[in-house]
Amino acid sequence: MAYRLLFVCLGNICRSPAAENIMNYLIERAGLSEEIICDSAGTSSYHIGSPPDRRMAEAAALRGISMKGKARQFQIDDFEKFDLILAMDRENYWDILALDPQKQHSDKVKLICEFATRYQAKEVPDPYYGGREGFEKVINLLLDACEGLLNHVSDLNNGRKP
């Protein structure tokens, strides 16, 4: 059975689809496409059905990563469908946990930056209202965090405690 990851930001057009597509890129390179499945969602309904932001797509393309998908909103049943839910920032983290008042699933909700090894950031900043530099920074941070996440999930799948 595949390990399922869900990346979550506010609108699901910048950070979470970037994380999803970066992770899929890393998974494919590692030959783990059958073992790890990724998706992304937003805590808001602002952009449902929209493709990833073109500025994020351009920043990802510079690293050979294509951005696929359409925005969707986080649903309560995502708690059951996914093994690990990765919030881009604290606000997203708390918005997700608010949908689980019984705290049945709180152990599977984490901040993506917990898995970063080269960057000290605790949150992935929202680049939406900034310039190209912000999108580049987000891609670099997510590449680092997703590499650490892939190591974590690989350790879990190999029976080792991360």
Q: What residues act catalytically?
A: 9, 15, 126
**CA–CA separation, 50 vs 157, rounded Å?**
33
d(CA 143, CA 157): 21
Q: Assess contact for 31 and 65: CB atoms under 8 A.
A: no
**C-alpha radius of gyration, the chain, whole number:** 15
Q: In the beta sheet, which residues pair with residue 37?
A: 4
H or E stretch covering 39? strand 36-42
Q: What angle is formed at CA 99 by the lines to CA 147 and CA 70, rounded to 5 degrees? A: 55
What is the total residue count of the chain?
A: 162
Tell me how many degrees the CA angle 11-124-102 measures, rounded to the nearest 5.
65
Q: Tell me the C-alpha distance between 127 and 136, whole Å.
A: 9
